[in-house]
Amino acid sequence: MLQNVNKQIFNILLPGLLLLIPFPALRAQTVLLDPPEIYIGATGGMTGSMVMFNPTVNQSMPLLAYNGGLSIRYVTESHCGLQIEANYSQRGWEEAGGNYSRRADYVEFPLLTHLYWGKTNRFIFNLGPKLSYLLKETDLINTVAEPQEQQKTPIYNPFDYGIAAGFGYNLHTRKAGVFQLETRAYYGLSNIFADAKTDYFKASNFLNVSVSLGYYFQLTGKKD
């Protein structure tokens, strides 16, 4: 019950959060860049994920897996830009007792507001929606004698959407490109299992955290 209330509140607040980016105080300090800074890059790292089930399913710890992808960053103002990504990500859950775990492989398309502070050493904040599509799902461990609902049911909804937010650090160099470290969280706003009144689960949305390393090559714009 509490999970459903929290999710409804989050869905109401989400449009307002996106409208607040970039922050007014930050925009007051922005300067138009001519030409804009354009970057193309690649990232890769680890994810830890679980599923917020209602009714609750006991999960021992986040399922560890991999993610990676390509991104384009377009910065038109100092401190503010746009980032578009195409990623491959592995998510899932691992149940308490170690007798069942499932991995789901997705292709993801985040559209992020990119904020930064600094020049050569930049601290970054990314925020925005993410749309994903399920490629495949795999039972990694299945030693259950009598499968429960989530263990015997395939994912119903191949599309997943939610909100992603990340903090990180960029090191800008004149000749060697941009090196990045970022940690990012994702909260799913859609359910992976059917959620009609007659279905078993009322909620089944992803929650995951990732840590990644990245490299960007600057195509245009002034190099600090």
- Assign 30 a pLDDT band (cuts: 50, 70, 90): low
- Domain span holding position 51: 2-220
Helix (H, G, I), strand (E, B) or coil at 142: strand
pTM equals 0.85
Q: What is the pLDDT of residue 9?
A: 47
Tell me, what's the pLDDT at 7? 53
48: its two tokens: 């830890």
DSSP for 21-41, please give it: PSPHHHHTT--EEEEEEEEEE
26-40, 51-65, 82-96, 198-212: segment of lowest average pLDDT: 26-40
CATH number of the CATH domain containing 140? 2.40.160.20
Residue 62 pLDDT level (bands cut at 50, 70, 90): very high
Number of structural domains in the chain? 1
HSE (side-chain half, CA atoms, 13 Å) at 108:
27
